[in-house]
Amino acid sequence: MAVRTGKEFLEGLRDGREVWLEGERVDDVTTHPKTARMAATLAGIYDLQHRPENHDRMTFKSPTSGEPVGLSYLVPETQEDLMRRRGAMEIVAQSCHGMLGRTPDYVNIQVTASRQLAHLYGLKDQRHADNLRNYHEYVRERDLCLTHAFGHPQVNRSLTLAELPDEYTAVGVVDRTSEGVIVRGAKLLATLAPFSDEIFAPVYRPLRPDMEEDRKYCIGFAVPVATPGLKFICRPSHDTGRPLADYPLSGQFDEMDALAIFDDVLIPWERVFIYDDIELANMTVQKVTLWRQYMQQVAVKNIAKLEFILGIVHAITESIGIGVYAHVQEKNAEVIDTLETVRAYMRAAEADAAPYEGEGLWPAAEPWIAMRNWYPDAYSRVAAIVEQLAAGGLMLTPTEEDMSGPLAGEIGKYYQGASIDARRKVRLFRLAWDLIGTQFGSRQTLYERFFNGDVVQLRQRRYATYDYSRADASLELFMSELEGG
């Protein structure tokens, strides 16, 4: 099929999938008033590949068909490959100003990274390695959009999965047949699920070794979102249907989050990547470092987002004449430093890329670990700066109807800024409010804090696994010199 157009992407979403939103089943996510604008945004991203100026920058020749396929499916072999892939992701991230964390390239890279490490899944059953490689080729050649789900429902996290009141709260195997395995339970957090073609659900949480009751949860797979028995329960939509001038971000970029529920769903054997082997599953949790590849997409998204936010911060500063104050200058500089720190992490990870397990080149781990442990707090701080600089202006913004109504004259007088007219200033402040104050804005901050996992646990893992040898040697050298002197 080669790379799809936006029209082809939208047609693929009309497949009878079971999506529930605010108590009702959505018949067609491309036309429903609370999902249609996001579907159109994604269609626009697919169309980017077909612009003459982008085609060679976003695709490479398929080793299977010879047709152009997306660069997010490329197994990087060289530094040049990493830069080519980054360039394609930059086009996508800049098109949505970094407001979408889960553009299709995100999970594409996860599937590609899994394919690079397919041999690990095949250590005891070669079919699983073959399944991963075949799946990578399948989605690459069809230019599919994927969601993924790694986590389990938050019912009682003080208990193991098997100890929950219903042992099939988390997805587990109910039965096996000649056609495949049948699973029941739920997975989270399936971001972009209503707009995806497939759900990718590898084992990515450790299981208790030698515990028979945990074996049912040892299942990694992928299936179409329209598979019988699979349904998605969405959170409330952040797209209120209001004019984009009033809600410029939530009206276009609500990528949606959902709980995936599997009600005795058949997973064909050719879509199974790991099964009934806790020892192997736990080993892959440790060694299949998907984040070493997908963090490049995250960094690109973060840079696009921070550049956009810096533009908002700078515009607010200029629009109300607060740039003369030292603390305002300092806060602008803090946003700049956050942006450039992300850029430095990305360049370091790319520059130190090296072979790892399996196929291809892998960006260096240390810069990515440092970035994902630091960025949640850094983004929260950036959001706070926007709030501090805009201050009470965020609570006074009129609507488009107000600005076109009988009080337009008064609005023009009292809402003008130091350097811009009232209409542009109001739109700027409504943009800032949508970024940090609406449900959409709050979700952005929550997403940046948790999408990579609980940062406390990440830092605990950092403490427990970091190689202290150079630091310890440095101290030991000093102490020995001190004692010798």
For residue range 259-305, what is the model confidence (pLDDT) as tens digits?
A: 999 999 999 999 999 999 999 999 998 999 999 999 999 999 999 99
Closest CA to 255 of 238, 233, 230, 231: 238
What per-residue confidence (pLDDT) applies to 1?
Answer: 59
The tens digit of pLDDT for each residue in 176-217 reads 999 999 999 999 999 999 999 999 999 878 888 877 888 999
- HSE-CB for 142 with a 13 A CA cutoff: 15
Task: Judge contact between 46 and 2, C-beta under 8 A.
Answer: no
What per-residue confidence (pLDDT) applies to 210?
Answer: 75
- pTM confidence score: 0.95
Task: Judge contact between 293 and 366, C-beta under 8 A.
Answer: no
172 pairs with which residues across the strands? 184
Task: For residues 400 and 426, give the distance between their C-alpha atoms in angstroms, rounded to a whole number.
Answer: 9
What per-residue confidence (pLDDT) applies to 354?
Answer: 97
Closest CA to 32 of 144, 226, 194: 194
Q: Which two tokens stand for residue 178?
A: 């000649």
What per-residue confidence (pLDDT) applies to 381?
Answer: 97
Length reported for the chain: 485
Task: Judge contact between 327 and 135, C-beta under 8 A.
Answer: no
459 pairs with which residues across the strands? none
What per-residue confidence (pLDDT) applies to 396?
Answer: 87
Task: For residues 73 and 105, give the distance between their C-alpha atoms in angstroms, rounded to a whole number.
Answer: 8
208 by Cβ neighbours in 10 Å (0-12 / 13-18 / 19+) ranks as middle
* Cα-to-chain-centroid distance, residue 140: 19
Q: Please confirm whether the linkage preceding 100 is cis (ω < 30° from 0).
A: no
265 pairs with which residues across the strands? 183
Task: For residues 420 and 230, give the distance between their C-alpha atoms in angstroms, rounded to a whole number.
Answer: 51
Task: For residues 89 and 109, give the distance between their C-alpha atoms in angstroms, rounded to a whole number.
Answer: 11
Strands (DSSP E) contained in 298-410 are 354-355, 361-362
Task: For residues 92 and 46, give the distance between their C-alpha atoms in angstroms, rounded to a whole number.
Answer: 9
What per-residue confidence (pLDDT) applies to 481?
Answer: 93
Closest CA to 305 of 252, 342, 256: 342
Residues of the chain short of pLDDT 70, as ranges, are: 1, 485
Give the distance between the most distant pair of CA atoms in the chain: 86
Continuous segment of H or E residues that includes residue 259: strand 258-268
* SS3 of residue 441 by DSSP: helix
Task: For residues 284 and 113, give the distance between their C-alpha atoms in angstroms, rounded to a whole number.
Answer: 12
What per-residue confidence (pLDDT) applies to 451?
Answer: 86
